[in-house]
Amino acid sequence: MKLYSDPAIAKKIRKMQQRVKWQDPLILERRIDQTQFVLSDGHADDPEFSFLVVGDSGSGTHKGHNPQRQVAELMLPHHHECRFMLHTGDVIYLVGSKEYYQQNFIQPYQEFLVGGEQPKKIAYDKMVFNLPILPVPGNHDYYDLPLLFGLVSISTLPIRRLLQSRLDLDVGLYGSGTGDAYARAFLDYLCAFKFPGDLARHLDEHYTIKTDTGRCLSYQPGSFTRLPNRYYTFRYGGIDFFALDSNTFNDPPPLPKTQAGDSDRRILEKRRTNLEQEKQQIMADSAILNPSNSKDAEQLDDLQVKLTQIEEIIVDIEKQLDPNKTLLTDIEQLDWLKQRLIESWNTQEVRGRIIFFHHPPYVTEATKWQQAQTLAIRNRLRGVFDAVAAKLGSLTQNRPLVDLVINGHAHCLEYLQTADTGHADSHIPWIVCGGSGFSLRRQRPEGAELTEVRGDEEKLVARSQLFLGRSGQGSHKHRPYSCLRIDVKGDRQPKFIVRPLVAEWYQREWCDREIAGFEI
């Protein structure tokens, strides 16, 4: 039985557009840019500032310990020195269900919320942030329950709860509603306004900032903390930040209808069958374990890691095997990114650019590099970067197109540098921050170097400089959960001082782990 289903890209785009009344006549009439906001905190012009980064955090208690809360406590001493927090996605596991926002988001981050001293009184769709939390949607924020699983979970509730008590699946009763819970939690949910007069008053109250691309939303910490769209941009301290929804351009192309394609299909079908059998064995093994026993609890955590890894690989395989799939890429979003990057380079007051989204194009975590979705993301981002580079010509003065790319999805902390990739994504620093609460994963056995076949040769395209994930075996297993503080320094060409904040779960105890910071 599948644990979750991934809605089609066309459905994700359509539903999200409906929720923000994308290009509604009242919005067009006011020349509102629904992809931009201004962070109105009185400090947006300061050239030096700091911000936090977390990702893949939205988990439960992990049988007696709460990694997400531990990471949140690491951030508290930095709360008043940082201007905002970027979240790289997977805000809620396992299927982005609204019923888990209280346990898996509001309570762990209560100090960052207005009224956080009484977190149980905060509704997930009424959150207001003291410290801006600026997320992008992850794949789990879009996942839904398969119909059969949903019926079983309702009709056999005691059994479902027993299953959850073994593996902390946090599947809930509802699923995400194709990202509806995420949209209600973080976006300006304009479809809630049923009458044009109410919508007009809301737009006139909150979309008050005039920019070159039209009026845009004013994000006011402690007062009005909604985002205009699932992808967006904002400028802070002369740095342009671009937040993307990579869930709508991660579909791999279907297998070709050739002899080689048929062979690949048979290989993938056999692998899927083997993985399904392995899932069933994991469920059987977990049923005999007692989560109240510390040794069993550790084993359950390991089984949960394996189960979610397997389910993720199966989703990737099924995206390739779907015989009826029409390849759809979110061209509108990618064109938007291309145009905004070009505009950014042609804007004198902009001194740097940061992109953040969920799926990493470069990563050495054990399950990700060979996934078809990783290749799809990498190729499509390269297409955008190559087009931007061709348009800009010598304007970049040999600087990389962006100063930093930040991702999640891989459950680790990693810092990589691309080499000469043969594309405009060369010589860029990449950070994966996806180890902020959900079960951690290991580095691939092949190690820190990533290669691609180019022509007849295998070329180095990226090298990992730091990897922090699950390591060790048995009682010597290390689980270092992490987040980041990034300090922006420098003048015309910014420097980024990256400071990992790490809490390690080792031998049933928490300890802070010192990881040296580094400069980008």
DSSP secondary-structure letter at 105?
Answer: I
DSSP secondary-structure letter at 437?
Answer: S
- Which residues are bridge partners to 100 per DSSP? none
pLDDT-derived band at 92, boundaries 50, 70, 90: very high
* The residue to which tokens 């069958």 are assigned: 273
Please give the single-letter amino acid code of residue 230.
Answer: R
* CA gap 469, 477 in Å, rounded: 10
Residues 26, 199 contacting (CB under 8 angstroms): yes
Q: Would you tell me how many other CB atoms lie within 10 Å of the CB of residue 325?
A: 16
* The residue to which tokens 């290989």 are assigned: 267
Residue 327 pLDDT exceeds 70: no
Where are the extended beta strands (E) located within 339-468?
A: 352-356, 404-407, 413-418, 429-433, 449-454, 457-468
What tokens appear for 468 in the block? 């922090």
Higher-pLDDT residue of 12 and 154 is 12
Residues 71, 481 contacting (CB under 8 angstroms): yes
What Cα–Cα distance (Å) separates residue 271 from each residue in 106, 264, 268? 39, 11, 5
* CA gap 398, 302 in Å, rounded: 46
Residues 88, 55 contacting (CB under 8 angstroms): yes
What tokens appear for 313 in the block? 């690989």
Q: Which residues contact 194 (CB under 8 A, 6 or more apart)?
A: none
Mean of pLDDT values over 181-201: 97
Query: Would you call 196 exposed, middle or buried from its count of C-beta atoms within 10 A (0-12, 13-18, 19+)?
Result: exposed
The pLDDT score that the predictor gives to residue 164 is: 45
Residue 460 pLDDT exceeds 80: yes
In 38-179, where does DSSP find H-type helix?
67-75, 101, 147-155, 157-167
Residue 381 pLDDT exceeds 80: yes
Higher-pLDDT residue of 301 and 502 is 502
Strand order in the sheet with 457-468: 209-211, 214-219, 32-39, 232-236, 239-243, 352-356, 404-407, 429-433, 413-418, 457-468, 449-454
What tokens appear for 320 in the block? 């390739």
Instruction: Choose the weakest-confidence range: 223-237, 244-258, 350-364.
Output: 244-258
Question: What percentage of the chain has pLDDT greater than the value 70?
Answer: 93
Instruction: Choose the weakest-confidence range: 167-176, 307-316, 422-431.
Output: 167-176
- Which residues are bridge partners to 287 per DSSP? none
Please give the single-letter amino acid code of residue 514.
Answer: E
pLDDT-derived band at 461, boundaries 50, 70, 90: very high
Three-point CA angle 69, 496, 54, nearest 5°: 20
Taking alpha carbons only, the member of 519, 511, 426 closest to residue 465 is: 519
What tokens appear for 400 in the block? 């990389």
The pLDDT score that the predictor gives to residue 469 is: 96
pTM above 0.85, yes or no: yes
Span 344-373, pLDDT tens digits: 999 999 999 999 999 999 999 998 998 999
Instruction: Choose the weakest-confidence range: 120-129, 297-306, 426-435, 481-490.
Output: 297-306
The pLDDT score that the predictor gives to residue 326 is: 64
* CA gap 409, 89 in Å, rounded: 7
Higher-pLDDT residue of 18 and 325 is 18
Q: What is the mean pLDDT of the chain?
A: 91
The pLDDT score that the predictor gives to residue 160 is: 46
Please give the single-letter amino acid code of residue 445.
Answer: P
- Which residues are bridge partners to 353 per DSSP? 240
DSSP secondary-structure letter at 471?
Answer: B
The pLDDT score that the predictor gives to residue 156 is: 40
Higher-pLDDT residue of 101 and 64 is 101
* CA gap 502, 512 in Å, rounded: 6
Residues 165, 207 contacting (CB under 8 angstroms): no
pLDDT-derived band at 505, boundaries 50, 70, 90: very high
Question: What percentage of the chain has pLDDT greater than the value 90?
Answer: 73
Burial 111-149 (b: 16+ CB within 10 A, else e): ebbeebeebeebebeebbbbbbbbbbbbbbbbbbbbeeb
Instruction: Choose the weakest-confidence range: 133-142, 257-266, 469-478.
Output: 257-266
Mean of pLDDT values over 310-329: 79
Span 134-186, pLDDT tens digits: 999 999 999 998 754 444 444 444 334 434 445 656 666 778 999 999 999 99
The pLDDT score that the predictor gives to residue 113 is: 98
Helix-strand-coil split of the chain, %, nearest 5: 40, 25, 40
